[in-house]
Chain A
Amino acid sequence: MIIVKGARVWRRSGLVEAAVVIEGDRVVEVGTVTAPPGARVIEARGAILGPGLVDIHVHLRDPGQTWKEDFSTGSMAAVAGGFTAVVAMPNTAPPIDSVKAVKEVIDRSAEVGLVDIAVAGALTRSREGLGMADFDAMYEAGVRLFTDDGDSVADSGLLRRIMAYLCDLPRAVVAEHAEDRSLTRGGHLNEGAVAASHGIGGLPAVAEEVVVARDLALAADTGARLHIQHVSTAGSVSMIRRAKESGLAVTCEVTPHHLRLDESAVDRLDPNFKMYPPLRTAGDRQALVEALEDGTVDAVATDHAPHSVAEKDVPFEEAPRGVIGLETSASVAWEALNGDAGLFFERLSAAPARIASLDRHGQPVEPGSVANLVLFDPDRSWKPRSFYSKSSNSPFLGSTLSGRVMATIHEGSVVYEGDADE
C-alpha cells in the first residue's frame, strides 16, 4: 500500500488537497485517511498529483539505432519526465509496418516494464509511400495510431485510400508529419531572418501548411480521424481551428520546444536547436501557446528524437534533425500553460491518452482509477545537466526550468523518485 499525502490532487471535480491510497494497480481511496502501519507514505506537500503523462510522439530508436536510445534508457527518460505511457514512432530500422515488427517492440519494451510503450504503425509499407501497410493485423495487435512520421504521405491518392480504409477500424487515427519535401529540400531552419542572416537554406512555413490544408480536405472528404503531428505555424493552427469549428474529427499536437523557443534561439547554429519542424517566429510561438490554451491544439507531445553527441557535433547543415524532450516536457509545458494544473493534465495526459486510445492512462484520480500517476512539484526550479536518455541533444541543457517531476507511479509501483536535494 502506498499513500501520497498532502498533494493537491487532480480529480473529476478539479484540484483538491487529499490523500491518495494506492493498492495493487489501483487508486482505492481519495480523501482523508490515516496511514495504517506498514504503508509506504510519500509526503507531497506543495506538489500536485495527477494522471501519469502520456507522450504520443517519441522515437526510441529501437530496433536499429540503439546507440542513440534503447527501450531501457528511453523508459528511464520517460518515467523521469513523469510519463506512464509513450507511443513509439515507427520510423525505426526496419520500420514498424507489420504485426511482427509491432509485436517485437511490444514484447521487448515490456521487459523493461517501467512505462507502457505503445507503438504507432507505419501508414505505408516500409514507409516508402507507395502502398498500404498491414493495417488490420497491426490494429488487431493493438495499434491505433498510424503514421509515416518523418515524412508525409506524398501521394494524395494513396493517402485518400488509406483514410477511407482506416475509417472502418474504430478509433484508428491517421497521424501526419506535415512536410512537403519539395519545399524543404536544402532547408535546415525556419525560412526567415535567421536563415537569411546565415545564408542557410530555409524550411518555409508553407511546406507544413500545404500538407495540413491537403490533409484537412482529405479528412473532410473521407471522414477519417486525422491527427496532425507537431504543428508549428500560426497558419496551420488557424486552419485546424476552422476545421474543428466545422466539426471535423481532427486533433493535433505541439512540442514543448515550439512552445518555449523561436527561431532566434537557432542564431548560434547549435545543432541541439535543429529539428523538424523548425523553431518558427515569435508570432508562431505565440499562436501555438494560445492554441494550446483554447484547445485548438489538443496535446503536448515531445517528438523525443535522440542523436548521439558525435552525430550532432558537426556543421549545422550536416547535423541530423531532432531533439530529446521526455525529461523536460513537463517543466516546459507547465510554464507555457502558466501553471494551470487542469490544462496541464488535460493536454499532457487526458487528451493524448484519448487520441491514442490508451485507456489505462489520462483518467482523473478517483477511487477505482488505474494507478498511473505523476507527482509534480511546481515550485522546484532546476537546470537539466545530464539525462537518463542515452543522448543529450536537448535545447534546454543548462536552462533554468520551473516545476519538476518528483515521482512517477506506473500500475501502482513507484518507478521514479527524484532526488529531493539535488
Chain B
Amino acid sequence: MSGLLTLRGLSRPVLGDLLDSAERYGKQLEGRDKESSELAGVTVTTVFFEPSTRTLLSFQKAAAHLGAHVMSFNPEVSSLEKGESLRDTVLTLSALGSDLLVVRHGGVGVPGLVARWTGLPVVNAGDGRGEHPTQTLADALTMRKHFGALEGLRMGLVGDIRNSRVARGHLWALPTLGVDVTLIGPRSLLPVANPWGVRIETDLDSALEGLDVVYLLRVQRERGAAAGFPSVSAYASRFGLTQTRLSRLHPSAVIMHPGPINRGVEICDAAADGPRSLILEQVANGVPIRMAVLAAAMGAE
C-alpha cells in the first residue's frame, strides 16, 4: 500500500489488516510506552486546504506517535494567497523534503492528483464530496470494538448522503467488511445513482427499529444541502434523531456521528450525550487508525 487515496476496490483482507494494526496501536496508546520509532526520519506533511480540527490534530498526533517529523501547511498564510497554483504549491512541499503528504481539499480527486504530481505517497484526509477514508476506517474500528465483529451489523446512514464524503467512504468499504448498509434520507439528498446496490429508505421511522447502528450525517449546510429540504426544522422533524425516536431504538443499538454535530438538527442532546453514543470513541479511534494508515502508507508494516 502506497498512500491511501480511496477505499474503493480495497479488499476485505486489506481493510481487515488496517483495522487489526490500528487495534494494536490502540493498545500501545493505552500502555505506558506510547511512542514508537517506526517512522523515525520520515517527514509527514499535512496539507489541509479546508478547515479541520479533529482530522488534522489526529493525523499530527498519529504521526508524532510513530516518531515522524511533522510539517504543516496552512493555505491561509501561504503563497497560495499570492496566486501560486495548487500544483506549484505541492511541488514545493515535496521539494522541502516531505516523504508523505496528508491532503484535505475541497475538490474530488485532488489527493490522487497530488500523488501524480509529486510521486509521493498521499493519504486522503477528505476530498470534497468524494471520500474521507480514515473517518470510515475509524468508524469501522469503533463498531468492531463495540460489537466484536462487523459481519451482519445493520447500519442506517441517515441524512445528507448525496453531499457526504463520509457516507461515500462508508459505502465503498463497509459492505466489503460485511456491514449491511441502508441509506435513509429525503430523495433530494440521496445519491443520484446507487452503484453500491444498497437498500434505500425515505422514512426514518419505519427503518429505525431494525438498526444496530444509527449513523447520523452532518447536515452539510456549506455544500448547499439546505437546498434539498424546505427548512432545518422540516429536516429535523423527518430525519433528526429526536427523543421519541431515541426511545424506539433497539436496546443494543448505538448512535454514531462523524462530527461536528448540529445539536437539535440531526441529533438531540440526549442522543449525543447519552450512553448509546459512540461519538467520542469515534474521535479517539481516529488516532490509532491514522497511525495504521500512515505506517502502511510508508510501507512500515
Contacts and interface: CB of A to CB of B under 8 A. Distances in A.
Contacts of B107: 315-318
B170 interface: no
Contacts of A193: 193, 195
A269 interface: yes
Contacts of A310: 85
Contacts of B193: 191-193, 195-196
B258 interface: no
Nearest to B112: A269
A202 B165 CA distance: 16
A202 B163 CA distance: 12
Q: SS class of chain B's interface: helix, strand, loop or mixed?
A: loop
B110 interface: yes
A197 B169 CA distance: 10
Contacts of B195: 193, 196-197
Interface string B84-96: 0111000000000
B179 to A, nearest CB: 19
A198 interface: yes
Contacts of B128: 199-200, 317
Contact of A315 (B105, B131, B163, B194): B105
Given A199-B128, A199-B130, A199-B165, A315 B109 contact: yes
Contact of A202 (B8, B192, B224): B192
A313 interface: yes
Contacts of B130: 198-200
Contacts of B85: 310, 314
A313 B117 CA distance: 10
A196 B108 contact: no
B87 A198 contact: no
B214 to A, nearest CB: 22
Nearest to A187: B192
Interface string A196-212: 11111110100000000
A314 B107 CA distance: 10
B86 A315 contact: yes
Contacts of A317: 107-108, 128
A405 B191 CA distance: 44
Contacts of B108: 198-200, 269, 315-317
A315 B110 contact: yes
Interface residues of A, number: 21
Given A186-B224, A314-B86, A198 B109 contact: yes
Contacts of B87: 313-314
B161 to A, nearest CB: 10
Interface in A176-191: 186, 191
B129 interface: yes
A283 to B, nearest CB: 13
Interface in B119-134: 128-131
A315 B111 CA distance: 9
B113 interface: yes
A313 B85 CA distance: 11
Interface string A113-138: 00000000000000000000000000
Contacts of A315: 86, 105, 107-110, 113
A181 to B, nearest CB: 15
A269 B192 contact: no
B126 to A, nearest CB: 11
Interface string B117-161: 000000000001111000000000000000000000000000000
A316 B112 CA distance: 11
Instruction: Choose among B109, B131, B164 the residue with the greatest number of A CB atoms under 10 Å from its CB.
Output: B109
Given A315-B108, A318-B107, A199 B129 contact: yes
B65 interface: no
Contact of A192 (B164, B165, B168, B192): B192
Interface string A359-395: 0000000000000000000000000000000000000
- Which residue, B105, B108, B110, B128, has most C-beta atoms of chain A within 10 A? B108
B226 to A, nearest CB: 14
A269 B128 CA distance: 14
A201 B129 CA distance: 9
B2 to A, nearest CB: 18
A196 B105 contact: no
Contact of A316 (B109, B131, B192): B109
Contacts of B192: 191-192, 195-196, 202, 204
Nearest to B168: A199
Contacts of B105: 315
B157 to A, nearest CB: 14
Contacts of A201: 129
19 contacts: A186-B224, A191-B192, A196-B192, A196-B193, A198-B130, A199-B129, A199-B130, A199-B163, A199-B168, A200-B108, A269-B108, A269-B112, A314-B87, A315-B107, A315-B109, A315-B110, A315-B113, A316-B109, A317-B107
Interface of A: 186, 191-193, 195-202, 204, 269, 310, 313-318
Interface of B: 8, 85-87, 105, 107-110, 112-113, 128-131, 163-165, 168, 191-195, 224
Which 3 A-B pairs rank lowest in CB-CB distance, beginning with the nearest? A315-B107, A199-B129, A196-B193
Given A196-B191, A200-B129, A315-B113, 7 more contacts: A186-B224, A199-B163, A204-B192, A310-B85, A315-B105, A316-B107, A316-B109
